[in-house]
Amino acid sequence: MPAEDLPAVTIYTDGGADPNPGPGGWGAILIHPASGKTTELSGGEPQSTNNRMELTAAIRALEALGRRSRVRLVTDSQYLRLGVTQWLPGWVARGWRRKAGEVQNIDLWRRLDELARQHEISWDWVKGHSGDRYNERADRLAAAAIRAQRTPRGAAAVPCTEVFLRVTAGGGRGAWAALVRRPGGEEELVRGETDGASANQVDLLAAAEVLERLPAGEAVAFHTGSDYLRHGATRWLPAWRRRGWRTQAGAPVRNRALWERLDAAASTRIVEWPEVKSEEPPELERLGKLLRGKPESEDRGGGTGRARRSGGGEPDTPPDN
Catalytic residues: 14-15, 54, 76, 129, 139
Question: Could you give the CA distance from residue 214 to residue 103 in angstroms, rounded to a whole number?
Answer: 46
- Alpha carbon distances (Å) from 299 to 65, 104, 137, 177, 227: 45, 37, 27, 11, 13
With the CA atoms of 220, 57, 11 and 110 taken in that order, what torsion angle do they form, in degrees rounded to the nearest 10?
Answer: 170
DSSP state of 218: -
- Beta-sheet pairing, 22-32 with 160-170: unpaired
End-to-end CA distance of the chain: 61
Helix (H, G, I), strand (E, B) or coil at 162: strand
**Cβ contact 129:136 at 8 Å:** yes
Question: Could you give the CA distance from residue 50 to residue 129 in angstroms, rounded to a whole number?
Answer: 16
Backbone φ and ψ for 178, nearest 5 degrees, come out as -135, 145
217: which residues sit within 8 A by CB, 6+ positions away? 158, 268, 269, 270
**Cβ contact 34:7 at 8 Å:** yes
**Cβ contact 192:243 at 8 Å:** no
